[in-house]
């Protein structure tokens, strides 16, 4: 069985574009370059178009659903509820596009044969890493909000077994994104939850905030199931038949 990585052109590109795009939208660059956020918007849009053209029809649909769902979520959580705030107090165009790019990157990464072959060990390593990471933020920075989110992730994964690999990879992808975004001051999280609930202090960023991204992932899949019911039923049937043959 080959160990060749097949999807690096998707997830490595997304990782690179996330870093470069957030750097270009940073507070530092904004002091030197006017309209720098639009440079990031254009870069992420080009990346979105490239990734979209290299994924399956199912992921194409999920990416499009994701853009709409992410935009609605950003308006609600950022602009209406004040859960976090972007540098220009807006919702940058690259943000909803970025949500869908992250989805495609995680989906591609988890499909790598070497990861699938060592899935049990990878999941165990990612589980423990997540708990250690969040616990350190709690101890060193009083990140109660992030730790509570991490506990929510553990509860979610226990109640929905079978998809641990995808969601744990998503956790680390979000950690990467949030650390970059807050470091470059593209957005900021308040010291307390929603800047209102004083007994739940938060780090910038909260360590377990990916639990909200999980809601985005589930929402995209729910929309896909509703709009592509026949395709979804056929896929589930094929999976059951494949499982029975292997049993």
Q: Hey, is 41 helix, strand or coil?
A: helix
- Give residue 1's pLDDT: 43
Residues 6+ apart with CB under 8 A from 43: 17, 20, 21, 24, 94
Measured CA to CA, the distance from residue 247 to residue 243 in angstroms comes to: 6
Question: Which pLDDT does position 188 carry in this prediction?
Answer: 97
Alpha-carbon distance 24 to 53, whole Å? Answer: 25
Across 47-75, average pLDDT: 95
Does a structural domain hold residue 2?
no
pLDDT band at 243 (very low <50, low <70, confident <90, very high): very low
In a domain, 85, yes or no: yes
Within-domain flag for 198: yes
Distance CA 247, CA 242 (A): 9
Confidence of residue 168 (pLDDT cuts 50, 70, 90): very high
> What's the structural domain count of the chain?
1
Query: Is residue 241 scored above 60 in pLDDT?
Result: no
Asked if residue 3 is part of any domain, the answer here is no
**What whole-number percentage of the chain has pLDDT above 90?**
80
For residue 27, is it within any domain? yes
Does a structural domain hold residue 14? yes
pLDDT digits (tens, 9 = 90+) for 137-155: 999 999 999 999 999 999 9
Residue 1 lies in a domain: no
In a domain, 103, yes or no: yes
Domain range enclosing 14: 8-246
């Amino acid at each position: 069985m080959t160990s060749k990585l097949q999807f690096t052109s998707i997830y490595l590109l997304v990782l690179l574009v996330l870093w470069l795009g957030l750097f270009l939208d940073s507070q530092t660059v904004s002091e030197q370059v006017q309209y720098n956020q639009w440079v990031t918007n254009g870069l992420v849009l080009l990346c979105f178009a490239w990734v979209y053209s290299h994924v399956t029809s199912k992921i194409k649909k999920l990416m499009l659903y994701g853009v709409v769902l992410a935009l609605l979520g950003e308006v609600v959580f950022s602009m209406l509820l004040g859960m976090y705030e972007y540098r220009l107090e807006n919702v940058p165009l690259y943000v909803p596009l970025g949500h869908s790019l992250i989805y495609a990157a995680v989906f591609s990464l988890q499909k790598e044969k070497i990861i699938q072959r060592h899935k049990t060990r990878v999941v165990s390593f990612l589980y423990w890493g997540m708990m250690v990471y969040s616990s350190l933020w709690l101890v060193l920075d009083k990140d109660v909000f992030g730790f509570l989110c991490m506990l929510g992730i553990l509860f979610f994964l226990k109640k929905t077994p079978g998809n641990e690999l995808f969601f744990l990879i998503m956790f680390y992808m979000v950690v990467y994104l949030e650390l970059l975004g807050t470091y470059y001051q593209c957005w900021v999280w308040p010291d307390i939850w929603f800047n209102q609930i004083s007994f739940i202090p938060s780090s910038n960023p909260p360590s377990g905030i990916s639990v909200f991204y999980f809601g985005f992932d589930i929402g995209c899949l729910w929309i896909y199931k509703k709009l592509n019911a026949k395709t979804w039923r056929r896929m589930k049937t094929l999976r059951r038949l494949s499982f029975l043959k292997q049993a």
